[in-house]
Amino acid sequence: VGELVEQYGHAGIGAADVHEAADIYAEMLADDDCTVFMSLAGAMVPTGMRKVVSDLIRDGYVDALVTTGANLTHDAIEAVGGKHHHGSQNHGEKTEREHDETLRDEEVDRIYNVYLPQEHFALFESHLRSEVFPALEEEGTVSIADLCRELGRANSEVNDREGIEEDAGVAAAAYEADVPIYCPAVQDSVLGLQAWMYSQTSSFSLDALADMTPLTDLAYDADTAGCLLVGGGVPKNFTLQTMLVTPGAYDYGVQITMDPSATGGLSGATLDEARSWGKLEKDARNTTVLGDATIMLPLLVAAARERIE
């Protein structure tokens, strides 16, 4: 992979961007003084990126992860024995709508070409109510990072105790490596729904502002800082905006997105635009790779790790 990406440097258009991104990312990871922030949008876990991310965390290449409740939900499902499946692309004589209506009747949820039986959400709810929420209830109101840490602990312990075939996953790796996970829009997920439901009959609650101080402190204390932004949305902005209240800014930045910048939306905004806000240093090394993160993330990670290891 490293040789392929190196040869991309002799090509143009998107290939040249991939080469530059791998070069910047490798320099970021090789900088012992660099605090690395990673944002992970959407539902990258059920689409197969789970072990790519957990390995990065376990091997010391992530200092803080900002992600979605969806990723944490699907990560926990796999940790405790649930499974995602490849879905059929051939609907026979059915239209796509008719196919999805059939899936609804069969209690199977679809994420493009990834299928998840709804019974696994029942498994997830049971996991939260027996292994995660009770320990947090004793503390009353906790931060979202505390919830993520407790989820990681529970995922790790149940995965080991039950001898689950799949890896314990992202949250477990973060718990074991003492890497904080921030999930600023946790309400927008099944994890958030379950947390809200549990809070209705207990003293458990989440403080949405509690994570701001430790995340900002991490950025403030960084000698140099770098960010790998996988997709856009809330994780991307939450990662970048941290630098608005610190004296410095990111020294390295790599983002993978499929969104165009011409819409004016945050998800497609270039990192050069972020520089105008003071989120990146004027002399920061940065680039944007336009493409599907399920293709680009493993490529960049493998190439960068080959180079520095």
Residue 42 lies inside a defined structural domain of this protein? no
Q: Are 253 and 172 found together in one domain?
A: no
What local confidence, expressed as pLDDT, does residue 156 receive?
A: 98
279 tagged catalytic: yes
> Does any domain span residue 49?
no
DSSP 179-225: --EE-TTTTSSHHHHHHHHHHTTSS-EEETTTTHHHHHHHHHT-SEE
**Both 73 and 191 in a single domain?**
yes
Closest CA to 154 of 129, 177, 179, 191: 129
- Let me know whether 193 and 250 are in one domain: no
User: Running DSSP on this structure, what letter comes out for residue 284?
Assistant: E
Q: Cα(79)–Cα(108) distance, rounded to whole angstroms?
A: 19
Is residue 20 a part of any domain in this protein?
A: yes
pLDDT in tens, 175-191: 999 999 999 999 999 99
DSSP string, 139-182: T-EEEHHHHHHHHHHHHHHHHHHTT-SS---HHHHHHHHT--EE
Q: Give the global pTM.
A: 0.96
215 close to 205: Cβ distance less than 8 angstroms = no
CATH code (residue 239) = 3.40.910.10
Same domain? 98 vs 190:
yes
Quick one: 79 and 167 in the same domain? yes
How many other C-beta atoms can be found within 10 angstroms of the C-beta atom of residue 286? 23
For residue 90, pLDDT over 80 is answered with: no
Residue 115 sits in the same domain as residue 237: no
Among the listed residues 51, 83, 279, 282, the single catalytic one is 279
Question: Which range of residues forms the domain containing residue 297?
Answer: 1-33+223-308
Last residue of one domain, picked from the residues 209, 240, 275? 209
pLDDT at 92: 83
Q: What is the pLDDT of residue 188?
A: 96
